[in-house]
Amino acid sequence: MNERRQEVDNNSTDRDEVRERIEIELLLEGVYRMYGYDFRDYAYPSLKRRIWHQIFREQLHSISALQGKVLSDPHCVDRFVRNLSIPVTEMFRDPSMFKTFREKVVPKLRSLSSIRIWHAGCSTGEEVYSMAILLQEEGLYERTRLYATDMNSLSLQTAKEGICSLDKMKQYTKNYLEAGGKRSFSEYYSATDEGTVILNPFLRENMIFADHNLATDMSFNEFNVVFCRNVMIYFNDQLRNRVHRLFYESLSHNGILVLGSKESLHFTQCESSYEELDFNEKIYRKIR
């Protein structure tokens, strides 16, 4: 009798999980068809967790209720996209990567008359401003164009404004020094009366900000360097391979690809097209 009850419970649990997955698939399909945001190939466990988090924040009780609200309320879809696009960043994040970039990549860039660098999934822009500072100190910024893209329009707007919280400056200064910074970090920003800082406008002079969805959009230029750090950890294998193909097609010969500390080219379709410049910092050079 107990075994039969256990079997019924297991079958019920299986049906609930199947139903939940179908509801999530319908929600994501609706968001894609209605608004063009494509989360359909994001890793399922993280996706499921964030969707339920959004349900509770909206004071709802089911995935289908969230779907109804998202499809009818533009403000709700903005919150939904912010929750799923996971904007996590800081200036000179992983300082050792920036230090290695100075040592191993900057010398290769010096021979170029013009330099194009793409920061894909730039979030609120801290990484692209960090790169502008690094290139300024290396005497390369004047001949560089930095392209910063993201699918989250609110994050992009923050990036364009170049505003950061003052209480983050201590950590950012520490990161900058560990990354091989050559000046006083305070030279690059000014404080406001609202507890924020504004990054110096000259850092934005060679930046181009644009909406770009890695899941659906195509290549839009040829680049010498592509940064995409700790973005693809949220993708499934199919989407990850699609994005790697996009980066491969976007890079010039001998172009540099920089991934996040938790990512690699191993087991991707493009692995054989690159050589490692630095294994620890996930810096690769396109060789074919």
Q: Token digits for 5?
A: 């009850």
Query: pLDDT at residue 207 above 60?
Result: yes
Q: Token digits for 250?
A: 């976007």
Query: pLDDT at residue 205 above 90?
Result: yes
Closest of 279, 281, 234, 239 to residue 123, by C-alpha: 234
pLDDT in tens, 114-159: 999 999 999 999 999 999 999 999 999 999 999 999 998 888 999 9
d(CA 4, CA 230): 46
Give the β-pairing of 207-211 and 144-150: parallel
d(CA 180, CA 95): 8
Look-up: residue for tokens 């923050």?
Answer: 158
Q: Mean pLDDT score of the chain, rounded to an integer?
A: 92
pLDDT, residue 230, reads: 87
pLDDT, residue 62, reads: 95
d(CA 240, CA 288): 20
| Residue 3 confidence class, pLDDT cut points 50, 70, 90 | low
d(CA 104, CA 192): 37
d(CA 85, CA 135): 28
pLDDT, residue 4, reads: 59
pLDDT in tens, 81-97: 888 876 668 999 999 99
The pLDDT of 101-113, averaged and rounded, is 97
pLDDT in tens, 234-288: 888 899 999 999 999 999 999 999 999 889 898 889 999 999 999 999 999 999 9
Q: What is the pTM of this model?
A: 0.83
Q: Token digits for 238?
A: 């199919």
| Residue 213 confidence class, pLDDT cut points 50, 70, 90 | very high
Of 54-63, 203-212, 260-269, which range is least confident? Answer: 260-269
Reduced to 3 states (helix: H, G, I; strand: E, B; else coil), residue 207 is strand
d(CA 122, CA 120): 5
Rounded to an integer, what is the distance from CA 37 to the centroid of its chain? 15
| Residue 1 confidence class, pLDDT cut points 50, 70, 90 | low
